[in-house]
Chain A
Amino acid sequence: MKLTIALLLVSVLSVNAKTFSQITIKEKNIPLVKAISLIQKQSGYDFLYNYEIIQKQNNISLTLQNVSIEEALNACFKNRPLSYAIVDRTVIIKSSSTLSVTAPDAIPESYVAVPLGVIKGHISDENGKPLSGATIAIKGTTTGTSTDADGNFSLTVKDPQNVILIISFVGYKTQEVSLQNKTSIAVVMQVSPELQQQDVVVVGYSTQKKASLTAAVTTIKPEDVRMNSSPSISNALAGVSPGLVINNRSGKPGYDDALMLIRGYNTFAAGSTGVGPLIVVDGIPDRNMNRINPADVESISLLKDASAAIYGVRAANGVILVTTKRGKSGKPVIQYDGNMAFQHLTRIAPRVNAWQYMTYYNELAVINGTQTPYDPDEIEKYKQGNDPDYTSTDWTNQVYKAWAPQTSHALSVSGGTDVVRYNVSGQYINQQSNYSNSDLSYQNFNLRSNIDIRANKYIKFNVDLAAWKETSKNPAIGDNNIMHEMISIYPFIPVYWKNGLPSGGLGYGRNPVLMSSTEPGYNNITYLTFNPKLGVDVQLPFITKGLSVGGYGAFDNINTFNKFYQRPWHAYSYNKATDTYTDQYSSTALSQITQTSSQSAENTLFLKLGYDRQFGDHNVSAFAAYEQTTYNYTSTTAHRQDLLGSSLDQLFSGADLNQIGTGSASQWGRASYFGKVDYAYKGKYLANLILRYNGSFNFAPDKQWGMFPAVALGWRISDENFFKPLLPVINNLKLRASWGIMGSDAVAQYYYMTKYGIVTNPAYLTYFSDSYTQSTNLSPSSVPNPDITWEKQDTRNLGVDMTLLQNKLNITFDVFRNYRSDILAQPISSVPLYTGLSLPFMNIGKSLNRGFEFAINYRHATNRAFQYSVGVNLTYAKSKVIYQDESPNIPVWQQYTGHTVDSWLTYKTNGIYHTQDEVLHSPHLPGAGPGDLWIQDIDHDGQITSKDMVRIDYGVKPRLSFGLPISFTYKGWSLNMIFAGQTIAKVQIRPQAQSAVVVPPTWVYDDRFVSTEATPDAKFPRASNNGDSRNNVDADLYVRDASFLRLKNAELSYSFIGNDFLRKASISQLRLFVGGSNIFSVDGLKKYGVDPENTSLTGVSYPQTRIIRFGLNVTL
Chain B
Amino acid sequence: MKNIIKSIIAITVLLQACTKNVLNKPPLDSYTDASVWSDLSLTEAYADNLYNILPTVQHNWDNKSSRSWALSAACDEGYNKFNDYNESVLNKGTLTPDNLGIFDIWSMEFSNIQNCNTFLSKIDAVPGDSSTRKRLKGEVLYLRAFAYYMLVRDYGGVPLFSKPFDLNSDFKASRSSFDDCVNFIVADCDAAANLLPVNYASSDAKYGKATKGASMALKSTIFLYAASPLWNSNKDASKWQKAADAAKAVIDLGAYQLYSGTPYCQLFVKSNPELIMVTLKSAKYSNSYTDFTGIETFLAPNGFHGWSSFAPSQQLVDAFNTADGKLITDPTSGYSDQNPYANRDPRFYNDILYDGRPFGNSAYCQDRYSAGGTNACQFYEGGLDSKTGFDNWNYSLTRYSFRKYQDTTFNFNTGLGASNHFWVISRLSEIYLNYAEAQYNLGNNTEAIKYLNLVRQRPGVNLPALDGSLSGTDLFARIQNERQVELCLEGHRYYDVRRWKIAESTQNAGCRGVTITLNGNVKSYSYGVIQTRAFNSPANYLLPIPRAEIQRTNLQQNPGYQ
Contact = CB atoms under 8 A, between A and B. Distances in A.
Most buried by B among A831, A838, A926, A947: A926
Interface string A356-379: 000000000000111101000000
A773 B205 contact: yes
A946 to B, nearest CB: 4
Given A763-B64, A768-B206, A769-B203, A833 B46 contact: no
Interface string B384-411: 1001111101100100000000000000
Contact of B552 (A578, A670, A830): A830
Interface stretch (B124-132, B414-422, B486-494): B414-422
A1013 interface: no
A607 B8 CA distance: 12
A616 interface: no
A941 B562 contact: yes
A369 B62 CA distance: 26
A630 B390 CA distance: 58
B280 A772 contact: yes
A412 to B, nearest CB: 37
B531 interface: yes
A211 to B, nearest CB: 32
A609 B49 contact: no
A587 B547 contact: no
A83 interface: no
A665 B29 contact: yes
Given A667-B28, A772-B282, A926-B96, A889 B110 contact: no
Given A831-B171, A1029-B89, A1030-B94, A696 B48 contact: no
Contacts of A870: none
Contacts of A829: 552
A369 B529 contact: yes
B552 A577 contact: no
A777 B27 contact: no
Interface in B225-281: 271, 280-281
Interface residues of B, number: 122
Most buried by A among B23, B113, B532: B23
Contacts of A496: none
A722 interface: no
Contacts of A455: none
A756 B32 contact: yes
A419 to B, nearest CB: 29
A: contact size bracket: 35 or more
Contacts of B548: 833, 887
A110 interface: no
Nearest to B166: A783
Interface in B49-89: 49, 51-52, 58, 60, 62, 64-65, 83, 86, 88-89
B22 A670 contact: yes
Given A628-B19, A1029-B99, A775 B382 contact: no
A756 B208 contact: no
A37 to B, nearest CB: 47
B289 A589 contact: yes
Contacts of A890: 551
Contact of B32 (A658, A697, A755, A889): A755
A673 B52 CA distance: 48
A184 interface: no
B159 interface: yes
Interface in B364-395: 367, 370-372, 382, 384, 387-391, 393-394
A758 B45 CA distance: 9
A671 B25 CA distance: 12
B337 interface: no
Nearest to A568: B414
A886 B117 CA distance: 27
Given A582-B370, A889-B551, A777 B209 contact: no
Contacts of B556: none
B93 interface: yes
Contact of B158 (A507, A671, A834): A834
A573 interface: yes
A203 to B, nearest CB: 24
A1025 to B, nearest CB: 8
B19 A695 contact: yes
A755 B31 contact: yes
B207 interface: yes
Contacts of B207: 768-770
Given A755-B32, A762-B293, A831-B171, A669 B532 contact: no
A1027 interface: yes
A767 B202 CA distance: 12
Most buried by A among B22, B65, B207: B22
Contact of A370 (B8, B371, B530, B546): B530
A1116 interface: no
Contacts of A777: 45-46, 48-49, 52
Nearest to B14: A626
A369 B31 CA distance: 53
Contact of A671 (B23, B88, B165, B287): B23
B119 to A, nearest CB: 10
Contact of B92 (A373, A889, A927, A943): A927
Contacts of A780: 46, 115, 118
Contacts of B65: 763
Contact of B93 (A576, A592, A607, A926): A926
A592 B171 CA distance: 49
B282 A371 contact: no
Contacts of A580: 370-371
Nearest to A585: B414
A950 to B, nearest CB: 15
A223 B31 CA distance: 51
A124 to B, nearest CB: 48
Interface string B133-174: 000000000000000000000000011010001110101010
A754 interface: yes
Contact of B106 (A658, A785, A833): A833
B507 interface: no
Nearest to A757: B30
B114 interface: yes
A834 B532 contact: no
Given A770-B202, A835-B169, A887 B551 contact: yes
A776 interface: yes
B49 A766 contact: yes
Contacts of B60: 763
Nearest to A509: B289
A626 to B, nearest CB: 5
Nearest to A664: B29
B94 A926 contact: yes
Given A835-B171, A836-B115, A926-B94, A781 B30 contact: yes
Interface in A732-784: 749-750, 753-759, 762-781, 783-784
Contact of A925 (B28, B46, B94): B94
Contacts of B284: 658, 762, 772, 774
Contacts of B114: 835-838
Given A369-B531, A768-B205, A889-B550, A778 B415 contact: no
Interface of A: 368-371, 373, 490, 506-508, 543, 573, 575-578, 580, 582, 584, 586-590, 592, 607, 609, 626, 628-630, 658, 664-671, 673, 695-697, 701, 704, 749-750, 753-759, 762-781, 783-785, 829-838, 840, 842, 887-890, 925-927, 941, 943, 945-947, 1027, 1029-1030
List the 6 shortest-distance A-B pairs measured between CB atoms, nearest first: A836-B114, A587-B415, A369-B532, A586-B414, A762-B285, A777-B49
9 contacts: A575-B384, A577-B388, A757-B30, A758-B45, A766-B48, A770-B271, A836-B107, A837-B165, A1029-B96
Given A764-B52, A770-B271, A835-B165, 20 more contacts: A587-B415, A590-B416, A628-B19, A669-B24, A670-B23, A762-B284, A768-B209, A770-B203, A772-B281, A774-B282, A777-B45, A778-B36, A779-B46, A831-B552, A832-B552, A834-B173, A840-B167, A925-B94, A943-B562, A1029-B96
